[in-house]
Structure 1
């Protein structure tokens, strides 16, 4: 999967936060919903502009961020 087909960053939208292309839904919001206990089906029903592929793109994006070491170190 090429997450760049689904996730964009535009300084005019949500101050440049990564968002799902064609929406104002941020990667951060998707992660907050999942953290709050929502499942993929609930998110897709609540936000019909999302697709299963755009949901997968969120995780592909995060994987690339981690591989590029764009994360906060966890202190022991």
Structure 2
């Protein structure tokens, strides 16, 4: 899976994943999709975005949510 449009830079948006180094976060794009905005509506509202940016945001979310996590409860680490 190629996610070459998703960038993380500690100097941009506090290190949150962004689209191509712009100040548009992956979480913003995901929120727009989750709130039933169509790709065309998103691209109209954010003309600097391209369809592939939206697709890679969705792929990134899928990849992140599939990773194993460790949940910390006080002093114990529980594998999730």
Same fold (TM over 0.5): yes
5+ residue gaps, structure 2: 72-80
Runs of 4+ in 1 over 3 A off after TM superposition: none
How many pairs does the alignment contain?
A: 70
Higher strand share: 2
5+ long unaligned stretches in structure 1:
none
Q: 1:26 aligns to what?
A: 25
TM-score by length of 2: 0.76
Q: How big is the alpha-carbon RMSD for the aligned residues of Structure 1 and Structure 2?
A: 1.7
Output the TM-score relative to the length of structure 1: 0.79
Larger RCO (CA under 8 A, 6+ residues apart):
1
Structure 1 or 2: larger helix share?
Answer: 1
Q: What residue is the counterpart of 2:67 in the other structure? A: 68
